[in-house]
C-alpha cells in the first residue's frame, strides 16, 4: 500500500509541477511553484496517514487475532511502539520520499524559475507532520471499541483541529506547537486504548485524559458544524454593524455605515446624508466608482521587507519566502533576501542575471545598500525601459535590459526609506512616492521634489500611510493611521489624520478623522453560539471576536448545567470522589461539547437492586455503596456438584 501511496503522491506532485511550467509559459509572471502542490500534498498526507493508521490497527480486527498478537511475552506498549515505528517507516516511504524528491527538484537549478530558499520547504514539512497526526487519529478510530460507530470517529476531530490549526497559524513555530500538542494527546489516547484493548474503564489515567480530550475536540467540531448549518438554514436578519471611511476621487471623505444586511448608508463627516448631484437622490454604493469603493492601500513604516520573519504573510504563503518584482521580456526578476535583484529565464528556468546594489547587505540587518521591494505592485501604465527601485537609502532608476542603474535621490544619513511606489500621471510621466520614517515625499524622474509632507507631530508612530491621487490632476491626499498599540493604550481614541496637498502649493488642508466604533455583532444566533461553546473555547475565540457583556460570560451558565448533569450521572454510577471532582472541572471548562464527549466515552456499569437496602446499585463494586452489603452468590437449585478432592 505504501507503494501505491508513493505512486499517487509522485503523480500529484508531477502534475502540479507541470502546471507550474504551463502557467509560466503563458506568461502569467512569477508563479509560485509551491502553491498548489502544498494543498494537494496536505490532503494527500492526511488521507494517507489516516488510512495507514486505521489499517494498521484494523489488521487485527478479529478478537482472536488480536489475542494472538497481544498474548506474548512483551508489554503492550512495546508492541504498540514497534507497530508505530513500522507504520511511520511506511509513511515516510510513501509520503516522505516524493516530497523529498520534489524539494530536490525545486532545489536543483533549471526546474523552477525562482530563487530557492530552504525556508520554503517549511509548508511541505508541515504537511508531512500533519499526516503523522492523522496517522495517530486513524489508529485511534480503529482502536476504540465503542458501541455506536459514530463515537468511534470522535477522535478524528482532533486531527481536523490540527489541520485547521496548520492553516490558521501564522508562524512556523506556532504550527509546530499545535501539531505537537494534538499529536501528543492523540498518542496518549492511542496508547491507552491499545493497553486496555479499546475499552475506557481500565485504561491508565493519561490514556483516559488523552481520549477524553480527543473526543471533546470531535464533539466541539460537531457542535460548530451544527451551529454553522443552522446559521445557514435560519435566515439571519442581522449581520455585523460597522462603519468605514471612503474617499471620493475629488478628495471628499465620506462615511459608509453598514447595519446588518440593510443597504449601507452614506453620510458626510457631520453625519448628514449626501445627495448625489446628478440624480438628486441619496448617494448609494453603486454610485461610487471602483476606485472609490476600495479602501486605500497602505504602506507600513514598520515593514522591513528584507527580513523574512517580519513579512506579514503567514508561513504558508509562498510570497513570504521570495519576492517577485516583475516580468521583463522572458525573464522574471526577484528580490533576494540579501538585497540583490536576480533574473530567472522563463524558458531555461535558470538564473541569468544578477544586479547588485552598490553596497550589498547581509540578511537580517538593516544596514544601507541592498534593494528593497516596492510597497505595491507596479502600475502597469508606466512605460519601459526605466523602472523604479530603491535601497534603504537611495532611489534609483534601473534599465533592466541594459543593466544600468541611475541613482536619482538619497535620504539624509539619519533616515531610511521604508517604502516607495511608482505611478503614472495622466500625462504618462513617472512619479515616485517615497516614505521615510519622518516624511512622505513625491519625486519626479529627475529626483526633484514635487511635494513633501512631514509626519504630523501629534502621533508618535504610525501604523500605515496611504496616498491617494485625486482629480483633478495635481491633487493628492495623504492619510496617516495610528499605531494599533498606541491606539489600544489610549482606549481606541486616536484619530487618523488626512493632509490634502496640491502640487506647487503644499499642504492645503488637513483634518483629523475621528476613530470609528468597532464592529458590533448583533446576530442572536451568534449569541446562541456563545452559549453552546465551551468556556475554554470562548476564552480563545474572544481574542478574535470579542462579544459584549453579558454574552461573553453567558457560556458559564450552560457549563455549570453540564457540570451538574455530569455530577448526577456520576453519582448514579457511584464514581469515586476524585473522578467526580475531575469531571466537574472538565465540564466547567468544556461545557456542552465536554458533556457530549463524556457521554460518548464513558462505559456505564449495569445497576441492580441490592438485597440489603433495596436501592439500585452498580455491579462493579464488591459492596453496595449505600448499605455495604456484598453480592450474594448465585442461587442454588439443588443440582450443584462441588468437590475438588481428586479420587486418586
Partner 1 sequence: MSEPPVIQTRELTRYFGRKCAVQTLNLEVPRGCVFAFLGRNGSGKTTTIRMLLGMLAPTRGRATVLGCDSQALTPPVQARIGYLTEEHQLYAWMSLREAAAFQSAFYPGWNEKIFRGVIEHFGPRPEARVKDLSRGERAGLCLALTLAPDPELLILDDPALGLDPVARRTLVESMIYLTRRSDRTIFFSSHNLADVERVADYIAVLDHSVLRVCCPLESFRDNVREVRLGFTGPPPPLPHIPGLLQALRLERQLRVTCVHYNGATEKALKNLSPATMEILPLGLEDAFISYLGKQGEKSFILADTEVPS
Kindly list the residues in this chain that would bind partner 1 in the complex (CB under 8 A): 59, 62-68, 70-75, 196-197, 199, 201-202, 605-606, 619-622, 631, 633-634, 638-644, 646-647
- For residue 343, list its beta bridge partners: 333, 353
Cell of 638: 439443588
CB of 353 to partner 1, least distance (A): 59
Kindly give the interhelix angle for 2-25 and 97-107, rounded to the nearest 10 degrees: 30
| Rounded distance between C-alpha atoms, residue 299 and residue 302, angstroms | 9
| Residues counted in the chain | 648
- Give the nearer residue to partner 1 in terms of CB position, either 125 or 199: 199
- Give the nearer residue to partner 1 in terms of CB position, either 380 or 637: 637
| Rounded distance between C-alpha atoms, residue 239 and residue 263, angstroms | 11
- Give the nearer residue to partner 1 in terms of CB position, either 60 or 287: 60
For residue 609, CA distances in Å to 12, 145, 178, 531, 606 come to 63, 28, 48, 39, 10
CB of 62 to partner 1, least distance (A): 5
- Give the nearer residue to partner 1 in terms of CB position, either 413 or 640: 640
Q: Which residue has the cell 448625489?
A: 276
| Rounded distance between C-alpha atoms, residue 160 and residue 42, angstroms | 12
- Give the nearer residue to partner 1 in terms of CB position, either 50 or 203: 203
CB of 140 to partner 1, least distance (A): 19
- Give the nearer residue to partner 1 in terms of CB position, either 21 or 197: 197
First to last CA, the chain: 60
Q: Which residues contact 336 (CB under 8 A, 6 or more apart)?
A: 115, 322, 342
For residue 341, CA distances in Å to 338, 373, 389, 405, 421 come to 9, 10, 10, 12, 17
* SS3 call for 99: helix
Give the burial class of 249: count Cβ atoms within 10 A of its Cβ; 0-12 exposed, 13-18 middle, 19 or more buried.
middle
CB of 61 to partner 1, least distance (A): 10
Report CA Rg, the chain: 33
- Give the nearer residue to partner 1 in terms of CB position, either 72 or 278: 72
Q: Select from 13, 35, 12 the least CA-distant residue to 321.
A: 35
CB of 149 to partner 1, least distance (A): 16
CB of 620 to partner 1, least distance (A): 5
| Rounded distance between C-alpha atoms, residue 555 and residue 453, angstroms | 51
Q: What are phi and psi of 453, to 5 degrees?
A: -130, 120
- Give the nearer residue to partner 1 in terms of CB position, either 446 or 643: 643
CB of 642 to partner 1, least distance (A): 5
CB of 75 to partner 1, least distance (A): 6
CB of 567 to partner 1, least distance (A): 23
User: Is 619 in contact with 630 (CB distance < 8 Å)?
Assistant: no
CB of 609 to partner 1, least distance (A): 13
Q: What are phi and psi of 292, to 5 degrees?
A: -80, -20
- Give the nearer residue to partner 1 in terms of CB position, either 76 or 265: 76
- Give the nearer residue to partner 1 in terms of CB position, either 233 or 619: 619
CB of 543 to partner 1, least distance (A): 43
**Within 10 Å of residue 268's Cβ, how many Cβ atoms?**
13
- Give the nearer residue to partner 1 in terms of CB position, either 544 or 642: 642
User: Is 322 in contact with 117 (CB distance < 8 Å)?
Assistant: yes
Q: Which residue has the cell 538585497?
A: 339
Cell of 483: 499605531
Amino acid at each position: 500500500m505504501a507503494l501505491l501511496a508513493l505512486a499517487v503522491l509522485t503523480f500529484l506532485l508531477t502534475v502540479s509541477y507541470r502546471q507550474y511550467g504551463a502557467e509560466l509559459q503563458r506568461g502569467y509572471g512569477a508563479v509560485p511553484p509551491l502553491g498548489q502542490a502544498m494543498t494537494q500534498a496536505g490532503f494527500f498526507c492526511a488521507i494517507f496517514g489516516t488510512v495507514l493508521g486505521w489499517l494498521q490497527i484494523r489488521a487485527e480486527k478479529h478478537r482472536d487475532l488480536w489475542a494472538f498478537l497481544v498474548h506474548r511475552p512483551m508489554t503492550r506498549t512495546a508492541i504498540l511502539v514497534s507497530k508505530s515505528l513500522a507504520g511511520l517507516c511506511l509513511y515516510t516511504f510513501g509520503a516522505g520520499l516524493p516530497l523529498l524528491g520534489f524539494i530536490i527538484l525545486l532545489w536543483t537549478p533549471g526546474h523552477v524559475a525562482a530563487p530557492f530558499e530552504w525556508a520554503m520547504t517549511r509548508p511541505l514539512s508541515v504537511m508531512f507532520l500533519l499526516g503523522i497526526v492523522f496517522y495517530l487519529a486513524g489508529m485511534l478510530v480503529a482502536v476504540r471499541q465503542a458501541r455506536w460507530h459514530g463515537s468511534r470517529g470522535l477522535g478524528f476531530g482532533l486531527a481536523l483541529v490540527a489541520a485547521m490549526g496548520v492553516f490558521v497559524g501564522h508562524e512556523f513555530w506556532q504550527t509546530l506547537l499545535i501539531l505537537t500538542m494534538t499529536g501528543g494527546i492523540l498518542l496518549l489516547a492511542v496508547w491507552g486504548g491499545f493497553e486496555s484493548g479499546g475499552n475506557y474503564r481500565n485504561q491508565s489515567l493519561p490514556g483516559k485524559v488523552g481520549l477524553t480530550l480527543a473526543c471533546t475536540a470531535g464533539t466541539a467540531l460537531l457542535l460548530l458544524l451544527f451551529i454553522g448549518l443552522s446559521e445557514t438554514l435560519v435566515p439571519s436578519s442581522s449581520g455585523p454593524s460597522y462603519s468605514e471611511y471612503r474617499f471620493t476621487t475629488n478628495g471628499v471623505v465620506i462615511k459608509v455605515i453598514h447595519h446588518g444586511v440593510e443597504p449601507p448608508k452614506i453620510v458626510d463627516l457631520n453625519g448628514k446624508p449626501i445627495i448625489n448631484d446628478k440624480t438628486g437622490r441619496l448617494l448609494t454604493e453603486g454610485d461610487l466608482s471602483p476606485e472609490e469603493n476600495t479602501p486605500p492601500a497602505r504602506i507600513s513604516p514598520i515593514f522591513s521587507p528584507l527580513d523574512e520573519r517580519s513579512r506579514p504573510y503567514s508561513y504558508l504563503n509562498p510570497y513570504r519566502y521570495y519576492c517577485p518584482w516583475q516580468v521583463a521580456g522572458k525573464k522574471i526578476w526577484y528580490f533576494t533576501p540579501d538585497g540583490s535583484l536576480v533574473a530567472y529565464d522563463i524558458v531555461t528556468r535558470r538564473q541569468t542575471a544578477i544586479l547588485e546594489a552598490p553596497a550589498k547587505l547581509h540578511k537580517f540587518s538593516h544596514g544601507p545598500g541592498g534593494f528593497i521591494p516596492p510597497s505595491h505592485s507596479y502600475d502597469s501604465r508606466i512605460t519601459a525601459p526605466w523602472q523604479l527601485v530603491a535601497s534603504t537609502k537611495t532611489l534609483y532608476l534601473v534599465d533592466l535590459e541594459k543593466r544600468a542603474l541611475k541613482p536619482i535621490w538619497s535620504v539624509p544619513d539619519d533616515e531610511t526609506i521604508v517604502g516607495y511606489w511608482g505611478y503614472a500621471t495622466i500625462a504618462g510621466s513617472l512619479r515616485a512616492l517615497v516614505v521615510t520614517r519622518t516624511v512622505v515625499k513625491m519625486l519626479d524622474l529627475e529626483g526633484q521634489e514635487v511635494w513633501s509632507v512631514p509626519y504630523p507631530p501629534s502621533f508618535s508612530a504610525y501604523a500605515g500611510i496611504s496616498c491617494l491621487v485625486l482629480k483633478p490632476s495635481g491633487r493628492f491626499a495623504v492619510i496617516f493611521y495610528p499605531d494599533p498599540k498606541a491606539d489600544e493604550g489610549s482606549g481606541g481614541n486616536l484619530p487618523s489624520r488626512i493632509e490634502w496637498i496640491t502640487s506647487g502649493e503644499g499642504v492645503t488642508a488637513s483634518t483629523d478623522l475621528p476613530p470609528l466604533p468597532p464592529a458590533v455583532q448583533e446576530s442572536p444566533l451568534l449569541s446562541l453560539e456563545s452559549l453552546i461553546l465551551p468556556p475554554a473555547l470562548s476564552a480563545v475565540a474572544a481574542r478574535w471576536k470579542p462579544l459584549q457583556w453579558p454574552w461573553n460570560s453567558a457560556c458559564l451558565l450552560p457549563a455549570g448545567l453540564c457540570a451538574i448533569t455530569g455530577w448526577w450521572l456520576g453519582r448514579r454510577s457511584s464514581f469515586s470522589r476524585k473522578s467526580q471532582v475531575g469531571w466537574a472541572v472538565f465540564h466547567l471548562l468544556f461545557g456542552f461539547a465536554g458533556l457530549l464527549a463524556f457521554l460518548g466515552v464513558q462505559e456505564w456499569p449495569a445497576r441492580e437492586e441490592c438485597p440489603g437496602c433495596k436501592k439500585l446499585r452498580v455491579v462493579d463494586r464488591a459492596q453496595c455503596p449505600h448499605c455495604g452489603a456484598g453480592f450474594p452468590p448465585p442461587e442454588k437449585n439443588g443440582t450443584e456438584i462441588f468437590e475438588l478432592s481428586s479420587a486418586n
